């Protein structure tokens, strides 16, 4: 049984307060809140990225069989360079071990695949590949924004040359089957889907410090024992990297858990660590999954409703998409970059109006007082950008 541990690493480029009169609180072009972004990046770097990467490096040095994988969004990489260059260097140090894999995704952590024109999606994937190649070897495995996946997504990603793609291991696409195997995808020839074991992933990502949980406290020996009892070829443990130190603070014991895990796993001879690309090379697809509608790992619905579930989100997304052709016609690199930054999925995530625990998570991450404030501020900025675009076309 191979254990594949993967972490999403992302920080959104949050927007500055922006009125209909074009009065921005701060930011280079008036749209992005550099002060807030810097503050959050440095805070999370000190609580998560720096200590977690230091620990990962020591684990890779101490345990030659240990493997780990990441996807770093282009938006995150830009903020590293701008606000915390030591974080990027610490990831480069992990890359130099040869046992930390860096997966591909959309550079701007966007919903670009959902555009009618797929050229923008392809362009962002290519931009991300180039960004990763500056400090690490590129991967043949792809992970779309928030693990968005469907037959058509897999087909396009296969055409781009990828041999593997990450997805959520949902019961309604698996039926009686287990997520602990690689699967082919309906309509594709060779790409293999690596499915997240969401229960074991969420045991760490969400429940680790939950004192109401029947398995609290979660210890490394207990978790390794659970892994040892699984049947299949592999188990995919996927989560946000901010799990360590940010979502679960250091005093919960989360770093001690991570530090002890490789040694506990090594007590079971049939358990090994692998990267996604190693799994794709090692194991055949045991069966085929059929996913005609887009799924994701977000919210209880596990679909696109986290970003496009209400009329505000759909309205904002429609306007953003409609501006794309005119933006590209200008051939203005700054305008194109700004438009793409405004396509960051987090802007739409903040507009979500769900209920109960799902909305609690949205509110936790949002810098706004309400989803309606998020929508108003975003549309103020997008309308102003639309005017700048019209001025650029007149020149």
d(CA 34, CA 17): 12
d(CA 367, CA 350): 8
In the chain the first and final C-alpha atoms are separated, in Å, by 62
Helix (H, G, I), strand (E, B) or coil at 192: strand
Is 1 in contact with 233 (CB distance < 8 Å)? yes
Residue 235 CB-half CA count within 13 A: 20
Look at residues 211, 216, 212, 196 and name the one whose alpha carbon lies nearest to residue 257: 216
Catalytic residues: 146
Instruction: List 239's β-bridge partners, or say none.
Output: 7
d(CA 332, CA 263): 53
Is 21 in contact with 29 (CB distance < 8 Å)? no
Residue 113 DSSP one-character state: G
Quote the distance between the C-alpha of residue 231 and its chain's center: 27
DSSP string spanning 263-326? HHHTTSTT-EE--HHHHHHH--EEEEE---S-B-SSTTTTSSHHHHSSHHHHHHHHHHHHHHHH
d(CA 360, CA 156): 34
Look at residues 287, 13, 305 and name the one whose alpha carbon lies nearest to residue 148: 305
């Amino acid at each position: 049984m191979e254990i594949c541990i993967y972490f999403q690493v992302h920080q959104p480029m949050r927007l500055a307060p922006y009125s209909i009169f074009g009065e921005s609180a701060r930011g280079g072009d008036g749209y992005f809140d550099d002060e807030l972004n810097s503050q959050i990046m440095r805070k999370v770097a000190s609580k998560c990225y720096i200590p977690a990467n230091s620990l990962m490096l020591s684990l890779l040095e101490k345990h030659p069989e240990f493997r780990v994988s990441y996807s770093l969004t282009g938006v995150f990489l830009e903020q590293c360079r701008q606000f915390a260059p030591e974080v990027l260097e610490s990831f480069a140090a992990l890359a130099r071990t040869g046992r930390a894999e860096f997966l591909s995704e959309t550079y701007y952590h966007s919903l670009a695949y959902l555009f009618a024109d797929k050229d923008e999606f392809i362009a962002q994937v290519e931009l991300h590949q180039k960004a990763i190649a500056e400090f690490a070897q590129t991967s043949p495995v792809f992970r779309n924004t928030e693990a968005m996946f469907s037959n058509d997504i897999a087909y396009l990603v296969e055409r781009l040359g990828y041999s593997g793609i990450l997805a959520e291991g949902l019961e309604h696409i698996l039926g009686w089957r287990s997520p602990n195997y690689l699967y082919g995808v309906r309509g594709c020839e060779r790409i293999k889907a690596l499915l997240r074991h969401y229960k074991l992933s969420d045991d760490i990502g969400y429940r680790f410090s939950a004192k109401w949980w029947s398995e609290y406290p979660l210890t490394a020996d207990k978790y390794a024992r659970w892994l040892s009892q699984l049947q299949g070829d592999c188990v995919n443990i996927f989560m946000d990297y901010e799990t360590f130190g940010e979502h679960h603070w250091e005093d919960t014991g989360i770093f001690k858990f991570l530090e002890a895990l490789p040694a506990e796993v090594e007590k079971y001879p049939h358990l090994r660590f692998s990267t996604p690309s190693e799994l794709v090379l090692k194991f055949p697809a045991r069966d085929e999954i059929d996913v005609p509608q887009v799924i994701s790992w977000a919210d209880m619905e596990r679909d696109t409703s986290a970003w496009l579930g209400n009329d505000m989100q759909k309205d904002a997304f429609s306007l953003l998409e409609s501006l794309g052709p005119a933006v590209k016609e200008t051939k203005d690199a700054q305008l194109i970059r700004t438009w793409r930054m405004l396509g960051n999925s987090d802007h739409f995530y903040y507009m979500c109006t769900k209920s109960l625990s799902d909305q609690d998570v949205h509110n936790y991450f949002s810098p706004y007082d309400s989803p309606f404030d998020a929508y108003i501020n975003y549309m103020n900025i997008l309308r102003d950008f639309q005017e700048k675009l019209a001025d650029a076309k007149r020149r």
